Amino acid sequence: MTISVSAVRTTHWILTAQCPSRLGTVDVVTRFLREQGCYITEQQSFDDSSSCRFFIRTEFRPPEEGEFDAGAFEAAFAERAAPFSMAFELTSPERLTPVVIMVSKADHCLNDLLYRYRTGQLPVAIKAVVSNHPDLAPLAEWHGLPYHHLPISAETKAEQEAEVWRIVEDSGAELVILARYMQVLSSEMSERLAGRAINIHHSLLPGFKGAKPYHQAFEKGVKLVGATAHYINDDLDEGPIITQGVEPVTHADTAEDLVARGRDIECITLARAVTLHLQRRVFLNGSRTVVFQR
């Protein structure tokens, strides 16, 4: 299936940067853009006093006359950024980020992502769908996407993850989305995917672990259901948080109502986190994140 990118095209480029906190960090960005004749359309910055790190995200419109030379822009800005030890990234407005999606049996998050992909809401190029079950193959195939059924057991975990990594590497995927992939990644795999894999899971208070968490929550009479999207790390469901969603429920809601509400929140929260990542609005800041909301 060929996806049109017209829905995600814009003339605005994105410049993101971070560096140690010091005087002149905003000026080095804004002054350079002004000298290049670029018009800033959106800018957000944050200085974290606890880590002494500075973060900035700028959208800008290049001069209308002539062709914008991204390579020359990067080379010139690198000279300005060097005295600040500033790491930066320039992102093209037409770039589609290559991704791999991992799932198990639940289809709600995958279905939502594929709809947003098909309609051009997500600027991605989905390279593959990987699952430890065969159930969702028809859904991926209907979208014209390769589906890799890779069963897993305690005995085959290392081999299965090696194949997953091969798919990620061979496809050039820069982001892995765990759309309700119900397997715990190994420490080695988590380290390889640090900062480039987003997971979604339910977020209930109090916390409920094990099977049927929403049914457990119903038995306790919870009044809120929610979801958390985060980058993965070696601590199960405790990676740097990107975004969270929550919705009130009442005594009148059944266990099945809670499950349905939870699915909706998971879809919305995961899609929001992926969008923020794709728009270069998320910065890793140690075990936390800096997120520039739109």
For residues 216 and 205, the answer to whether their CB atoms sit within 8 Å is no
**Would residue 230 be called left, alpha or beta, if left means φ above 0 and alpha means ψ between -120 and 50 degrees?**
beta
Residues 269 and 263: their CA atoms lie apart, in Å, by 10
Residues 177 and 271: their CA atoms lie apart, in Å, by 10
Q: Which two tokens stand for residue 107?
A: 């289809």
**Cα-based angle 130, 123, 146 (whole degrees, multiple of 5):** 25
- Annotation says 237 is catalytic: yes
Residues 243 and 294: their CA atoms lie apart, in Å, by 13
CA–CA distances in Å: residue 137 to residues 104, 143, 170, 182: 11, 10, 20, 16
What crossing angle do the helices spanning 213-220 and 255-278 adopt, rounded to 10°?
120
Sign of the Cα torsion 53, 193, 70, 2 reads negative
Residues 6+ apart with CB under 8 A from 256: none
Residues 144 and 128: their CA atoms lie apart, in Å, by 10
Spatial CA neighbour of 278 closest among 74, 62, 98, 71: 98
Catalytic residue among 234, 237, 253, 264: 237
Residue 18 per-residue DSSP state: E
Give the residue numbers marked as catalytic. 237
